Amino acid sequence: MSKYFEIIFEDDDLLVINKPSGLVVESDKKDARSSVSTLEKILINEYKINLPRGGIVHRLDRDTSGLMVVAKNEKALVNLQNQFASHQVKKIYEALVFGKLEPKKGTINIALKRDPKNRTRFVSCRGVIHNALGREAITHYEVKKYLHSSHMPDLSYIDVIIETGRTHQIRAHFFAIGFPVVGDPVYKSRDSEIFSKKIGLRRQFLHASELSFKHPKTGEMLDFKSKLPSDLKMLLE
């Protein structure tokens, strides 16, 4: 049990958790000097995981909820890192984006780079791959359902699979093609910001709902699923 997150699975090699929205994953210099509870601090101080970054293998943004796997020993860490690097890990996210996203199934292949005017966000860098200006980023999506009513703009409820794992990739990609994630405080249009405030959503509608990878010791394929948290589920309903 943990007061910070739900534990989905645990053994001697790894920990699979359901990260809540609002929990910062990695400690930056400011967090390291403060009393802010980050996932990294919790894993090191309370779970006694004596590994770089507390065994964290991949990240979720602070206000993105959902599944994460954490290594508990060095062999598991190296194995999982290699699985992520070779794209063997399958991650599916659920998102709600502003607008009617068409076609219903597609791929976004737009390189991303840091915004020189705001180092905390990323911007599209079309046609530039793996150089000083941008890094390749590939996102696949499929529309689960279109949402519309007389008092609501067009919205698209989608599944998202990322082929690469760039910072803010999903949020930056959908913003780049004109369909920002509902509730996103950074990657937003004027209309999406107005709508997000109207419905009272205080974070991006983005949830890591499925995670599949091979167990680092046994090689067994592990598949985990996480339901939408209550704030996002209530919004859909």
Residue 131: pLDDT band with limits 50, 70, 90: low
Which residues, including other chains, have CB under 8 Å from residue 203's CB and lie 6 or more apart?
Answer: 21, 22, 63, 183, 185, 231
Q: What is the pLDDT of residue 114?
A: 84
Among this protein's residues, is 61 annotated catalytic?
A: yes
Establish if 182 belongs to a structural domain. Answer: yes
Establish if 76 belongs to a structural domain. Answer: yes
Which pairs from 163-168 meet CB under 8 Å and 24+ separation?
163/87, 163/138, 163/139, 164/135, 164/136, 164/137, 164/138, 165/58, 165/84, 166/112, 166/122, 166/135, 166/137, 167/59, 167/112, 167/122, 168/61, 168/112, 168/121, 168/122
Query: Which residue out of 12, 13, 31, 61 is catalytically annotated?
Result: 61
Establish if 66 belongs to a structural domain. Answer: yes
pLDDT at 59 over 70: yes
Q: How many domains does the chain have?
A: 1
From the list 60, 67, 75, the residue with the least C-alpha distance to 168 is 60
Which DSSP symbol is given to 54?
G
pLDDT average, residue stretch 27-55 = 82
pLDDT in tens, 159-215: 999 999 898 999 999 999 999 999 999 999 999 999 999 999 989 999 999 999 999
The number of C-alpha atoms within 13 Å of 85 and in the hemisphere containing its C-beta is 6
Establish if 1 belongs to a structural domain. Answer: no
The predicted model scores a pTM of 0.91
Contact 73, 87 (CB under 8 A): no
CATH assignment at residue 67: 3.30.2350.10
Domain that includes residue 53, residue range: 6-236
